[in-house]
Amino acid sequence: MIASPHPAAPDRVAAAGSLTPPMAPPSRRVTDAPTRVFHWLFALCFAGAYLTADGERWRLVHVVLGYTFAGLLGFRVLYGLIGPRQARLAALGRKLAAAPGWWRSVRGAVWPPQPAGLAAASRQGQNLAMAGVIAGLLLAVLPLTLSGYATFHDWGGEWLEEVHEFFGNTLLALALLHVGLLAALSVWRRQNLARPMLSGRIAGRGPDLAARNHSGLAALLLIAVLAYWAWEWQHAPARPTDTAGAPAAWLQRDHGDDDDD
């Protein structure tokens, strides 16, 4: 007669099976690595340039970050023209071009009231607002950096400094609006909308919108920025000092405050 298995055997098998690690929730890639690296370098350069805008002590840092800012914009435009489909600037343009149709759908859903139509128009309006802020951020970079370059070389006088300051404050307002919209929509939709710029992925099933991550290009972008910063550091002019030890450049350029005495 064949002996029956030990009664505890099924329990041991179940216990062993319970040690299998749970499967990760499904997700799909929607943002590639170059786009994410650009985004964070872009934010870092603007924040650093804005914080170092006043005073001669950090003037060179301000200028270098401004040049980097302009170079990053050039990369984004080029990548948006010849890069993969999900990174194309044409997608941003299509969202903005849908604004007239969105407005007509809003008016049609208001009266007679159509809750389903209003809900769809609301979501599209949220996407339009985010696209408009992003477009404003990109468009403000060119006049900001050009006016900064001219100001650095003392072209145009004080009115150009005021133009530079205006676009700097405008870009700051747009950046804060971007962050505020992102936070509000994340709460409204109950999902972390900043996640794609951190991991490149969103939760859910489906095909990857970004078929390839292009990690090599992202690494090259980061290396190029760091190499430029290192080059500027190595070639930074030494600040001469007067006999009292104060930098002479500070004494020579005081924004005209001493000229009126």
pLDDT digits (tens, 9 = 90+) for 9-46: 545 444 444 455 566 678 889 999 999 999 999 999 99
pLDDT, position 207: 87
Q: Is the model more confident about 170 or about 155?
A: 170
Its pTM stands at: 0.78
Pick from 104-108, 155-159, 210-214: least confident:
104-108
Instruction: Count CB atoms within 10 A of the CB of residue 232.
Output: 16
Across 99-128, b (16+ Cβ under 10 Å) vs e yields eeebeebbeebeeeeeeeebeebeebbbeb
Q: Is the model more confident about 10 or about 177?
A: 177
37 vs 92: CA distance, rounded Å = 19
pLDDT, position 27: 83
pLDDT, position 259: 45
Measured CA to CA in angstroms, residue 178 lies from 88, 103, 239, 244 at distances of 20, 22, 39, 47
101 vs 86: CA distance, rounded Å = 23
Cis peptide before 112 (omega within 30 of 0): yes
- Does 251 score more than 90 pLDDT? no
pLDDT, position 115: 72
Amino acid in position 179: V
Which residues are registered as beta bridge partners of 29?
201
pLDDT, position 23: 66
Span 252-261, average pLDDT:
44
- Does 83 score more than 60 pLDDT? yes
Cβ within 8 Å of residue 253, ≥6 positions away: 56
Q: Is the model more confident about 158 or about 69?
A: 69
Span 149-157, average pLDDT:
87
Mean pLDDT score across all residues of the chain: 82
215 vs 8: CA distance, rounded Å = 51
